[in-house]
Amino acid sequence: MTKLWTSQTADWPLTATLDMDLEEFERDKARRSAFLNEVQVPILRLLGFVLLAGLTLLHKVFITGPFLWKEFLFFQAIIFGYVAFSWLALFLFYRKVTIISLGLVFLVLDLLFYTLVIYYSGGEKSWLFFVYLARIADQANTTFKRVLFFTHLSAGLYILMLVYLSWIERRPIFWPAELSKAALIYFSSLYIASTSRTAERLRARTQAAMQMSKDLIRQLREKSVQLEEEKIKAEAATQAKGEFLANMSHEIRTPMNGILGLTELALATELNEEQRELLGLAKKSADALLVIINDILDYSKIEAGKVDLDALPFNVADVIGDSVKTLAQAAHSKKLEFALDLDPALPAQMVGDAARLRQVILNLVGNAIKFTETGEVVLSATLQDQDDRGAYVHFAVRDTGIGIPPQKQEKIFQVFEQADSSTTRQYGGTGLGLAISTRLVHLMGGKLSVESTPGQGSTFHFTVYLGAAPSLPMPAEQLRGLRVLIVDDNTTNLRILEAIAKRWKMETCTAGSGVAALEMLRQAGEARPFQLILLDEQMPGMDGFNVIERARSQPETAEVTIMMLSSADQSSSAKRCRELGVEQYLVKPVRESELQEAVRKALGGEKKTTPRTGAVETAPAGNRMNILVAEDNPINQRLAVSMLQKMGHTVMIAGSGKEALDMQERHAVELIFMDVQMPEMDGLEATRRIRAHEEKSGTHIPIIAMTAHAMSGDRERCIAAGMDDYVAKPISAKMLASAMDRVVELTLSVKASMAKRSN
Ligand code: ADP
């Protein structure tokens, strides 16, 4: 049997139960009826008349007599001639004759032949008048009307036979007895007819139910076709949305690039105060607009299923540390204690999408800082479950902020939902962050949830599954067994630092205040001196500097290595540290790898007391390069040129891919920034040609893509065309510089390995 409908929604559960075809059902019914009339009824008719022939014979011999073979055979010839004729007629014409049912015609004719049998077997003396009841009985399961018709017909035919015998053959008929027989036939038939009523009612009910289910199936089929059409339409709409977004992102990001870059350039020129303020405000608005555009784009990309997660190895602690560091300044400016609590059991290296994980953490920690006025924000990561293939890592972001009312706790995960819309004015935001994070966490195999008490704070939780990666070597032997004193008034920070130090197999002691620290230093004395002190700067009562001054004044601790951890990046503190002979000055929260590096340097005697800044440095004379920028938009051209020139590089411009090809051949270009979309010849094609040419010459020029497209697959397309790296517009000097660092390093290592091979 064929399916009811061929829907593409193969997983729709109803298709399994409605596995039938209405037309097929009707066709099947007609086939069964034809088989009954063409084959089954004629066979039964034949059997019936054979039986009747036997009965007639017995009747003639034993009851009525005289039995004459010739006469008997003559009658049977007539009867079986009729049987053969009816079979042939039904077989040939049953399906063709439609004005009348041939089956019914022969059922009626049967009665005539029954009458003939009764007549032959003795007429009014025959006991075979009961044969009529056989027809009534076999029709009992049809309709009441039909049985009634056969009842009248049977009684009528019997009476007709009696009339014929009496009038034509002039036989003496004892009418009271004969009419009683006719009445017997009639009333017995009526009784059977009445029983057929119940059957008929039941059948009617079944038919009504059948009809109802047929109607339902028909309606379902129509609905499914409709749904299928709507699904196709929706899919087309989603695709159109995706394409629209790709184009929109390009169109909006290109001018945004110009606005942001040019404002930055203008801000770097000489301006009066009012101009500076106005331009500063313009830049702030442009930055905010870019955040919103990126959020909308990101959310739509995820919704359109265009986000593919990377599966690359990364250092978990560093990614977490990096992301919180971005926000540390915001927390410090609000005087919030900002801590990172990493499970010592976390594998150092894992496989996953570091950028997307960072995005979720940034959103949650960003919110925590935004909605907290006093107290602390703690990000913790714990190893939950581990097997050979990977591990579940549980993240929690806890704050002591305004909290979220219970009735809003579910809603905030939806698009554009904010717990309290009046806070928008106070705190800003679009209400997209959590919606994006929820989906990203889902893609990473977890679920984002919140626990919160209004007025006391919130904790956002999520768990992600990260793949296993070859583990990194543990810190050098140099740190093993080292005696370290960790001093911090914040117990969370204290716990984190202690966990890290324990991971490195150091011997740890902790102190919650400056006074306690000095006491511990005194107790340790010369017998078991500490080799390293990790000291918090801001502490109530006695701050870090006081502790250092006192420690330095004692002979047993005068030379101890001290590292200062500060919540605020202040140049005055850094200067004071230098004066006091503090080996390293770090801004919290500190990444594990960074702390390790600093500890090693501090113990090795290397002084680095100024914290790193994000400023883009001018390239040293030896690193200055001849750079070709291929870009068709004049504003973006100017932007890239001035950023690169400020870094000390020499810059040439090409307005199309074709021009870039020409210039690269004629000049000694050392690196190319290549826009992807350009007239005449796009950046991908130009790169392909350059790479094809290089196959022969054996050289490799670093090419970095610049594109306003931010859809998934863009990066892959650039790399596939032969580009070495990729920056998304709007570009910044910092982005250009770090992309250049990456590709130059890569090119050097490629060159080195090529040189090694040729040796
Ligand atoms: P946005 O922060 O841009 O408004 P989000 O989707 O990130 O958008 O957050 C949605 C809403 O959830 C916020 O507007 C705020 O009302 C609530 N919220 C999120 N995080 C916190 C938090 N840590 N404390 C209090 N409220 C929060």
Task: Calculate how far, in angstroms, residue 405's C-alpha sits from the geometric centre of ligand 1.
Answer: 12
Q: Which atom of ligand 1 is nearest to the CA of 363?
A: 7
264 Cβ contact list (under 8 Å, min separation 6)? 283, 732
Q: Give the span between the Cα atoms of 447 and 683, in whole angstroms.
A: 40
pLDDT digits (tens, 9 = 90+) for 319-348: 887 777 678 778 888 888 888 887 878 887
The angle subtended at Cα 50 by Cα 49 and Cα 54, nearest 5°, is 110
CB 756 within 8 A of CB 638: no
Token reading at 29: 């019914």
Q: Specify the pLDDT at position 607.
A: 43
CB 14 within 8 A of CB 220: yes
Q: Give the span between the Cα atoms of 733 and 730, in whole angstroms.
A: 10
Report, as an integer, the average pLDDT of 287-316: 80
Report, as an integer, the average pLDDT of 95-111: 91
58: DSSP letter = H
Instruction: Reply yes or no: is the peptide bond before residue 730 cis, omega within 30 of 0.
Output: yes
Token reading at 135: 């027809």
Rounded CA Rg of the chain? 48
Residue 208 has pLDDT above 60, yes or no: yes
Report, as an integer, the average pLDDT of 545-554: 86
Report, as an integer, the average pLDDT of 602-629: 58
DSSP per-residue letters across 213-248: HHHHHHHHHHHHHHHHHHHHHHHHHHHHHHHHHHHH
Q: Give the span between the Cα atoms of 755 and 759, in whole angstroms.
A: 6
Q: Specify the pLDDT at position 506.
A: 85
Query: Which H or E run includes 543?
Result: none
Residue to mutate, 412, 426, 453, ligand 1, most ligand atoms under 8 Å from C-beta: 412
Give the closest residue (by CA) to ligand 1 atom 7.
433
Q: Specify the pLDDT at position 620.
A: 57
pLDDT classification of 284: cutoffs 50, 70, 90: confident
Task: Calculate how far, in angstroms, residue 462's C-alpha sits from the geometric centre of ligand 1.
Answer: 16
Residue 246 has pLDDT above 60, yes or no: yes
Q: Specify the pLDDT at position 149.
A: 93
Residue 428 has pLDDT above 70, yes or no: no
Q: Which atom of ligand 1 is nearest to the CA of 419?
A: 16
pLDDT classification of 420: cutoffs 50, 70, 90: low
Give the closest residue (by CA) to ligand 1 atom 21.
367
Q: Which residues line ligand 1 (CB under 6 A)?
A: 363, 367-368, 371, 399, 401-404, 412, 418-420, 423, 429-435, 458
DSSP per-residue letters across 336-402: -EEEEEE-TTS-SEEEE-HHHHHHHHHHHHHHHHHT-SSSEEEEEEEEEEE-SSEEEEEEEEEE-SS
Task: Calculate how far, in angstroms, residue 446's C-alpha sits from the geometric centre of ligand 1.
Answer: 20
Q: Give the span between the Cα atoms of 234 and 214, in whole angstroms.
A: 30
Strands (E), 498-621: 507-511, 532-536, 561-566, 584-587
The angle subtended at Cα 363 by Cα 362 and Cα 366, nearest 5°, is 75
Report, as an integer, the average pLDDT of 375-383: 91
Give the closest residue (by CA) to ligand 1 atom 20.
367
Task: Calculate how far, in angstroms, residue 361's C-alpha sits from the geometric centre of ligand 1.
Answer: 13
340 strand-pairing partners: 379
Task: Calculate how far, in angstroms, residue 431's C-alpha sits from the geometric centre of ligand 1.
Answer: 7
Report, as an integer, the average pLDDT of 100-120: 93
Range of lowest pLDDT (130-139, 313-322, 626-635):
313-322
Task: Calculate how far, in angstroms, residue 293's C-alpha sits from the geometric centre of ligand 1.
Answer: 18
Distances (CA, A) of 441 to 203, 362, 394, 458, 529: 59, 13, 11, 18, 47
404 Cβ contact list (under 8 Å, min separation 6)? 412, 419, 450, 452, 454, 458
pLDDT classification of 759: cutoffs 50, 70, 90: low
Token reading at 444: 């990473």
pTM for the predicted model, two decimal places:
0.51
pLDDT classification of 733: cutoffs 50, 70, 90: confident
Task: Calculate how far, in angstroms, residue 232's C-alpha sits from the geometric centre of ligand 1.
Answer: 36
Q: Give the span between the Cα atoms of 341 and 317, in whole angstroms.
A: 10
pLDDT classification of 754: cutoffs 50, 70, 90: low
Residue 425 has pLDDT above 60, yes or no: no
pLDDT classification of 709: cutoffs 50, 70, 90: low
Report, as an integer, the average pLDDT of 268-285: 86
Residue to mutate, 334, 418, 449, ligand 1, most ligand atoms under 8 Å from C-beta: 418
pLDDT classification of 253: cutoffs 50, 70, 90: confident
424 Cβ contact list (under 8 Å, min separation 6)? 418, 431
CA 594 to chain centre: 37
Q: Specify the pLDDT at position 12.
A: 42
Which range of 1-10, 470-479, 672-681 scores highest in mean pLDDT? It is 672-681
Report, as an integer, the average pLDDT of 523-546: 85
CB 665 within 8 A of CB 658: no
Tell me the average pLDDT of the chain. 83
pLDDT classification of 605: cutoffs 50, 70, 90: low
Report, as an integer, the average pLDDT of 142-162: 92
Residue 21 has pLDDT above 70, yes or no: no
Report, as an integer, the average pLDDT of 385-411: 90
Distances (CA, A) of 658 to 625, 637, 685: 22, 16, 9
Q: Give the span between the Cα atoms of 106 and 121, in whole angstroms.
A: 22
Q: Which atom of ligand 1 is nearest to the CA of 399?
A: 23
Residue 716 has pLDDT above 50, yes or no: yes
Report, as an integer, the average pLDDT of 500-527: 85
349 strand-pairing partners: 315
The angle subtended at Cα 181 by Cα 176 and Cα 186, nearest 5°, is 120
Report, as an integer, the average pLDDT of 138-160: 91
3-class DSSP state of 361: helix
Report, as an integer, the average pLDDT of 2-28: 52
Report, as an integer, the average pLDDT of 372-399: 91
* pLDDT above 90 coverage of the chain, percent: 29
> What is the sign, positive or negative, of the torsion defined by CA atoms of 77, 82, 83, 84?
positive
Task: Calculate how far, in angstroms, residue 347's C-alpha sits from the geometric centre of ligand 1.
Answer: 31
Residue 3 has pLDDT above 80, yes or no: no
520 Cβ contact list (under 8 Å, min separation 6)? 485, 509, 511
Name which residue leads in pLDDT, 477 or 97: 97
Token reading at 298: 């990101």
From the list 586, 608, 491, 571, the residue with the least C-alpha distance to 535 is: 586
Task: Calculate how far, in angstroms, residue 362's C-alpha sits from the geometric centre of ligand 1.
Answer: 13
Pairing, β 584-587 against β 650-654: unpaired
